[in-house]
Structure 1
Amino acid sequence: MENRRQRNLLLKSSYALTILCALIFFDWWPRGSILPAIGEKSSVRIFDRYNQEMRHALSVEGERQYFLPLSEIPTQLRDAFILAEDKNFYSHWGVDFLAMARGLWQSASHFRKVSGGSTITMQLAKICWPSLRGIIHRPALILQAWSLERSYSKGEILNSYLNSIPFGNMISGVGAACRFFMGKSCDQLSLGESAVLAVLPRNPSYFLKNKKALLERRNFLLSKMKDSVEEQTLIQAKNEPIVITKSNPDFFAPHLTEKILKERPHQKEIYTTIDLELQKAISDLFFAENIKRRGTGDSGAALVIQNSTGEVLAYVGGPDFFDPAHGMVDGVLVLRSPGSALKPFVYELALENSWNLYSIVPDIPMAFSTSRAVYEPSNYGGNFSGPRSMREALGNSKNIPAIYLVDKLGEVAVLNRMRELGFSSMKNDASFYGVGIALGNAEVSLWDITSAYTILARLGEKLTTTYYKDQVGKLPSSRVLPQETTFMIADVLQDAQARREEFGRFGPLEFDYQVGVKTGTSSDYRDNWAIGFTKDITVGVWRGNADSTSMKERLSAARGVGPLFHKIMELANTYRIPRWPVPPAGIKKSLVCPLSGKRPGKFCPITTMEYHVSGNGPHEDCDVHKSLEVANCDGKSVRINYVEFPQEYFEWSRYSTLPTLSNQLLEKCGTLDLGAVKKKKNSQSLAIVGPLENSNYAIDPTIPLSHQELRFALRGVDSKDALVYVNNQKQNLEVSDNSFFWPLARGEYKFYVKSKGQRSNEVKIFVR
């Protein structure tokens, strides 16, 4: 019985010993002689157009590391690591048994680990094969070190080691360590700083908290250099204070760099077209704007493109990337309603289809049939301005003319043009958008709309927009718009005089140089857009709330985002001389009447020079401006110059202040009856002859109230003693030349005038 137990024990012991030997054999078996590619482990670094680092992202191992060739690692830094970790590096075959014995003796003497005796090759093996860590795996580690020494040169081993050594703080390799701890590149390190880096890996957390211990260890290492470094240099290095910046790597253009990391996850160094200084300046502007003017939206984005190459110079996806609510939403790519910002492309298509900038389009109440309902649009200010030239209609961003043009051109043709220009988000059919496509009911991104405006700056050439430096000059380009019509639209957009009616003068949309600009305000003030360009630069800016709710400050885009757009455009042109496209050879200018869109007649009071394609100038004389001799107007013969519009403007003209025949008769002769002035001699009685009784007016929110006045026309008044009464209250208003001006204010008002003992008729008006 006893013998059986002994045999069983011996058998079990044999099994255990066999398993142990197998494990030891397996552990000692070399892991292979091929080092992992250090470059493949490097984390991604993203650079701007001038090779400034924008972002150093974490690698898949959660570290920041980038590869440096041995030739780019300074000799003093290499020597410092060799002296600190393995002074016999160039003389052993991977293992320094004398150093191992010394380390074992020192550790035993101090009852703690003082020195392990591992060579640089052994440390590299532990970094590449973490399973070799620990005293039990020491034999396998030795074998692996020998294997590496047989397969690689000393330079290759040292290069791999210096690019892999961990420094804690998610930093590996000397390249990343120099940036993180010293705030500079390796070739900028002093001897003292090189020694500090060589010491840190032994115990990073301890040395970073205990500067005194770090100083002692650094100086101890420097003392070992006395045979290779001049004494004065060593003294200077030892006296050098230790400054650890421990700075987080730069992190600029976060929305763009996040996008790039997803698009090119395996590329270790990515060079972009971004101008980092411009990017930072615009980001600072946005951050300040978000704090100062919260009412103009809690989100926003900006894009700056160099027109000649399609390079993105700045990409600001939001005011604060780290805002927990919606900071990471990329405002450059989000789809929003562009408001009126698409109108220039509608007008350009009209110019290709027989319209001209001098052509007259209606700004009057109109109804349009759509697939869903009858649509009766209105203008932003709620008023209608009658017949307008295409230049004035686009310049003042009138809604009715733009919709009218879509209706005439066809919804399908307009939608197809938008897609040709690059609006990739318009995926529905034309009936889905209808004529309202001109007013922004098709959502677009800031990327697409800014890229489309670069086509205007290039006079019709479409060039793919990119932020990758290696794509510049290699992406396809094509002509999508004629040079002539594109230039004419660009000219309208830079014409401050053409937009003065709605936008006033000398506001944020005007510059000291030519800038074509268009704004857009979506319904219920959810979005503000401003996109503008010179020959060289296109700037797009969007502001709004991330959740698409209305902005607190219900401002038009010109007032809401206009000031920010102005600052960004100025920043983008800081180091440039702004230029404007040269007119193509195929366009000319002709004299036209702006009210009729025809050649000026002898009664036209105002004429203007207007661009048109060669051979497509006006060929009919003006038939709107006319003249009539009235034989008995206030007892004398008077010639009346007036305007007569086509029939479709009749209803609108009844309430117009333009010199229609009725208005002129009333003002000059005190009657609307043309026959009466031929029969009856009018008295010189005091009267208000304009505006008409029960006239309605609206205050324009885009023009300062102090600049909005209403002219009253009088008859039979003595300017010296005339008094104006409003709602029976005497007003201090100056009367001259049979008229006075009254500053607009909302409400209902009754006016009359007293002069030389007479009292005029009362006139009631309404202002909203």
Structure 2
Amino acid sequence: MFERINPKLKEIFKRRWVKVFFAFIIVLVALNIIFPPKVNVPYSTLITDKKGEILHAFLSTDEKWRMFVELKEITPTLRKAILAKEDKYFNYHFGVNPIAIFRAAFKNITKNRRTSGASTITMQVVRMLNPDERTYWNKISEILRAIQLEIFYSKDEILQMYLNLVPYGSNIEGIKSASYLYFQKSPDRLSLAEVTTLAIIPNRPTSLRLGTKNPLIVEERNKWLKRFQKAEVFDNQLINDALREPLRVARHEAPKDAPHLSLRLKKQFADEAIIHSSVSKATQTKVEQMVANYVNRTRAMNINNAAVLVINNETMQVEAYVGSAGFNDKLDGGQVDGVQAIRSPGSALKPLLYATAFDKGIITPKNIINDVPTNFNGFEPENFDRKFNGKVSVEFALANSLNIPAVKVVKDLGKTTLIEQLKKADFQTVKKQEKDLGLSIVLGGCGVTLEEMTQLYAAFANDGNWQKAKMLDDKFTEKNVSHASIISQSATYLITEILAQIKRPDLPNNFDYTYRLPKIAWKTGTSFGRRDAWSIGYNKKYTVGVWVGNFSGEGVPELSGAEIATPLLFQIFNTIDYNTSSVWFRQPKEVVSRQVCAESGDLPSEYCSNKILDYSIKNISHTRKCTHLKKFYVNLSESMSYCTQCLPLDGYKEKLYSNLAPELLSFYELKHILYEKIPTHNPNCTRFFKTASNAPIITNPNNGSEYYLSENDMQQMQLACQTANDVREVYWYINDRLLQKNSANKPVFFTPSLGKLKISCTDDKGRSSSISVMVKGE
């Protein structure tokens, strides 16, 4: 069969017209490859919310409002109206309508002037893409380009190009731009009357100017509606409704919501015409308004700005992003993005510290820590209220944001461990500064952003699983979003229970803010110098981060996380989560209750009588036995104590004494707080005590430090130590030479010589400790 067909095919291909046809096809394909249609048009960048509503629009690079219309926005009504007016054979021709061309050519020739056009929608697209002078040669080029466009693109895509490029006067191009700037709605929400209005403007953009020529536009609109009625393009009822619809429009500003986020996304996705953010427009608008109103009130105290970030914990999407109280406010740099600004966190990092310590088994909520003056190698932190509370529990220390217990935990945990946790949670400044960070990191001695802090607290709401917040809608979000498990579900539960307590000092004085407040866990922070106020809260649904202060960095005496940032946090939760369900975080099975001694928070010993319940993490939390009481042998008058070596045969008894830490004893002495002292040890005893754990702790001067003293007026240097409860006297040595005997916990002053000094302190049990310092002259 193929042998019979082949000769016939050979005969056909020998014919001249066939050769010409195939040559034309080859040339056309080659031209298409060499000279493809140019459709690269700079569009306005649009930032939408998660439902597709425009939040913010930017001018195109050529200073035009040219908003990209999506195919889903081209409704059947819009499509039918445009085609009925501009090109009713659009779906049937190949870019050119030959009949229309011949008809237009005949009229133009017979009347010796241009009376009729023959441009299809495709040809108009070509002309708008390449606006050349109207000549016959350019018309031929336009026809060829139109055919080329039909080869490369579908009818829907060509119609979309037309609607994106059609002019509306001034710097407005495209039906979407006109729809938003005049009707303040998207094209898919336009009525037939509005669609027809926008269909007739491009032919006469100067004489039919919306907002100034509305009566004339209504006349022209109705003429076309009646033509549609005559051609039965739409049903009569729809036409009659459109004819009666009034036209009250004027030019409006382009949408300008969420300016800080919009600028950020535009910079990040510079090549995208439409960027679909994760923001909820309703939530964004409410939070923007609340922030603006709140700062209007705080300006009376010279507190001029605030920033807020709202994260949906279930999706980790940002639902509201407020970078400042007013983008156009020049008073305090309104265009600064407070969500990304690097600030000091104050005490807001403490929950991560305690959660990590829970996970390491170092502490449990009821463990006791001494909140007393403490010297950490030269670093002497103070509490926010400059007061000390003595013995406090871990949960009290966190709920009351005490500084000294937090630094003690950092020291026990190791600052490197805390830094690694912050690095896991993607704290960028911490990564850069980690070599320079010290124990003060937990008190605000590092740089953070509101975004980083809110993401961290969202991890508490997600069982300790940290994830980078998403600012794009899920359909468009970037892949491989960063995530990490930074703390256990058990530790997050313990932290959440502490932070959800209502009886706390950081509850605002104005309790009205808590009216019908959804149950939340929150933590405040105030930076050194009162420059930054933080309040970050979370529940099952949302995490809200609030920063209040001045972008200038100016401190304000009234600025604090509790009194200034927390009221705004409560307002936001009351608004966005007003009808929240009662669902709260469930206690993990690894979190169990156990009895502990109320005096120490450790497992009770045989001497502990006051026992309470505490949470612990199974197989993780420590199993230390309580040592808050220690048994001593004393004479019957309790004036002298004995050790086992000097214990007499009779005339003694056993008695329990508080085993107080040296720093707590010093605090009691300083504040004149009464405590039962252990009687002086038998002076006739020859035993030499070498227990290193009870050796004196030299608190001043600081080990390894350099001191500069004036050679002409040599100042005195203070020597101070902390000792155990059974110590009455200490002996100070300078370079192994006795300086002075002194009562325990009492300071000594001396005039040092220049050079390296070895300073030693020995208690009356023979226990000793030493440090070295360098004294230099100025």
TM-score normalised to the size of structure 2? 0.69
Contact 2:518/2:573 (<8 A) preserved: no
Are 2:569 and 1:565 equivalent residues in the alignment? yes
- Deviations 1:436-494, CA, capped at 9 Å, x for gaps: 11110101001111111122222322223211223389535332223323322222212
**Contact (CA 8 Å) 2:48, 2:56: kept in 1 or not?**
yes
Residue 521 of structure 2 is aligned to residue 516 of structure 1: yes
Say whether the 8 Å CA contact 1:278–1:314 is kept in structure 2: yes
- In structure 2, relative to structure 1, the CA distance for the partners of 1:52 and 1:107 (3 Å cut) is farther
Confirm or deny: 8 A CA contact 2:354 2:409 kept in the other structure: yes
Q: Which runs of 5+ in 1 are unaligned?
A: 1-28, 632-640, 663-768
Aligned to 2:372, which of 364, 368, 372? Answer: 364
Structure 2 letter corresponding to 1:362: N
Contact 2:668 2:674 in 1 (8 A): no
1:413 paired with 2:428, answer: no
For 1:712, the equivalent position in structure 2 comes to none
1:478 aligns with 2:484: yes
- Alpha-carbon distance between aligned partners in 2 of 1:120 and 1:85, rounded to the nearest angstrom: 7
Q: Does residue 1:203 correspond to 2:188, yes or no?
A: no
Say whether 1:332 aligns with 2:339: yes
The partner residue of 2:666 within 640, 647, 651 is 651
Residue type of the alignment partner of 2:162? Y
Contact (CA 8 Å) 2:354, 2:495: kept in 1 or not? yes
Q: Provide the C-alpha distance between the structure 2 equivalents of 1:62 and 1:330, rounded to a whole number of angstroms.
A: 25
Whole-Å separation in 2 of the counterparts to 1:30 and 1:526: 64
The answer for the alignment partner of 2:191 in structure 1 is 190
* Structure 1 residues 160-171: aligned runs within 5 Å: 160-171=161-172
Report SS of the residue matched to 1:54.
strand
* Aligned mates of 2:468, 2:229 — CA distance in 1: 60
Aligned-pair CA distance for 1:143: 3.5
Code of the aligned partner of 2:614: E
Whether contact under 8 Å (2:37, 2:145) holds in the other structure is no
Give, as a single letter, the amino acid of the residue that structure 1 aligns with 2:493: F
Residue 261 in 1 paired to residue 266 in 2? yes
Aligned equivalents of 1:194, 1:496: Cα separation in 2: 57
1:318 to 317, 324, 338: 324
Give, in angstroms, the shift of residue 519 of structure 1.
Answer: 0.6
Shift in alpha-carbon separation, 1:106–1:65, aligned structure 2, 3 A:
farther
Return closer, same or farther for 1:605/1:554 CA change in 2, 3 Å cut-off.
farther
From 276, 301, 319, give the equivalent of 2:307.
301
CA distance in 2, matches of 1:571, 1:462: 26
Do the aligned residues in 1 keep the contact of 2:536 with 2:545 (CA within 8 Å)? yes
Are 2:143 and 1:141 aligned?
A: no
Alignment of 1:469-548 (within 5 A): 469=474, 470-471=476-477, 475-497=481-503, 499-500=504-505, 513-548=518-553
Q: Equivalent residue for 2:705? A: none
| Paired residues of 1:599 and 1:622 also in contact (CA < 8 A) | no
- In 2, distance between residues paired with 1:68 and 1:592? 67
User: Which residue number in structure 2 is paired with residue 251 of structure 1?
Assistant: 256
Q: Distance in 2 between matches of 1:446 and 1:219?
A: 55
CA contact (8 A) 2:517 2:574 kept: no
Task: Say whether the 8 Å CA contact 2:602–2:625 is kept in structure 1.
Answer: yes
Cα distance 1:104–1:410, how it changes in 2: closer, same or farther (>3 A)? Answer: farther
Deviates more, 1:232-241 or 1:360-369: 232-241
Question: Could you tell me which residue of structure 1 aligns to residue 453 of structure 2?
Answer: 449
Offset at residue 428 of structure 1 (A): 4.7
Equivalent residue letter for 2:53: Q
Q: CA separation in 2, counterparts of 1:642 and 1:558?
A: 40
The structural deviation recorded for 1:364 is 1.0
Could you list the per-position Cα deviations for residues 70-123 of structure 1 after superposition, in whole angstroms to 9, with x for gaps in the alignment?
Answer: 786345544544565567876833964654786899998xxxx99877654543
Contact 1:122 1:141 (8 Å CA) reproduced: no
Deviations 1:637-658 (A, max 9, x none): xxxx998844432232246597
Task: Provide the residue aligned with 1:345 in structure 2.
Answer: 352
Structure 2: how far apart are the matches of 1:127 and 1:367? Answer: 76
* Residue 239 in structure 1 maps to residue 240 in structure 2: no
Partner of 1:124: 125
Q: 1:611 to 1:74 in 2, by over 3 A?
A: closer
Tell me how far apart the structure 2 counterparts of residues 534 and 285 of structure 1 sit (CA, whole Å): 20
Q: Is the 8 A contact 2:531 2:559 kept in 1?
A: no
- C-alpha distance in 1 between matches for 2:63 and 2:400: 55
For 2:207, what is the secondary structure of its paired residue?
A: helix
Preserved CA contact (<8 Å) 1:321 1:328:
yes
Identify the residue that residue 401 of structure 2 maps to in structure 1: 397
Distance 1:100 1:171, change over 3 A: farther
SS in 1 for 2:543: strand
Rounded to whole Å, the distance in 2 between the matches of 1:410 and 1:73 is 61
Q: Distance in 2 between matches of 1:141 and 1:214?
A: 30
Q: Secondary structure at the match of 1:362?
A: strand
Structure 1 residue 43 displacement after superposition: 3.4
**Aligned equivalent of 1:60:** 61
Is the alpha carbon distance of 1:587 and 1:71 closer, same or farther for their aligned partners in structure 2, counting shifts above 3 Å? Answer: closer
Q: Aligned residue for 1:755?
A: none
Within 5 Å, give how 1:667-678 maps onto structure 2.
none
Distance in 1, Cα, partners of 2:415 & 2:512: 34
Residue 424 (str. 1) matches residue 428 (str. 2): yes
Say which SS state the counterpart of residue 308 (structure 1) adopts. coil
When residues 82 and 362 of structure 1 are mapped into structure 2, their CA distance, relative to the original with a 3 A threshold, is same
Which letter maps to 1:333? Answer: Q
CA separation of 1:140/1:297 partners in 2, compared to 1, >3 Å: closer, same or farther? Answer: same
The offset of 1:575, in angstroms, is 4.8
1:717-728 pair list within 5 angstroms: none
The normalised TM-score by structure 1 is 0.70
**Residue of structure 1 in register with 2:653 after alignment:** none
1:216–1:428 distance in 2 versus 1, CA, 3 Å: closer
1:155 and 1:349 map into 2 onto residues whose CA distance is 61
Gaps of at least 5 residues in structure 2 are: 1-30, 638-655, 678-778
Of residues 510-519 and 80-89 in structure 1, the stretch that sits farther from structure 2 once superposed is 80-89
Contact 1:103 1:116 in 2 (8 A): no
> Paired residue for 1:678?
none
How far apart are the structure 1 equivalents of 2:661 and 2:524? 32
Letter in 1 for 2:373: P
Residues 1:617 and 1:656: Cα distance change in structure 2 (over 3 Å): farther
Superimposed CA distance per residue, residues 742-762 of structure 1 (whole angstroms, 9 cap, x where no aligned partner)? xxxxxxxxxxxxxxxxxxxxx
Query: RMSD of the alignment, in Å?
Result: 4.0
What per-residue deviation string (whole Å, max 9, x for no partner) do you get for residues 198-228 of structure 1? 2211333432222232223223333433421
Partners of 1:107 and 1:661 in 2: CA distance: 121
Q: Report the secondary structure of 1:282's partner residue.
A: helix
Contact 1:43–1:56 (CA under 8 A) maintained in structure 2: yes
- 2:532–2:560 Cα contact (<8 Å) kept: no
In structure 2, distance between residues paired with 1:293 and 1:271 = 34
Measure how far apart 1:151 and its partner are.
5.4
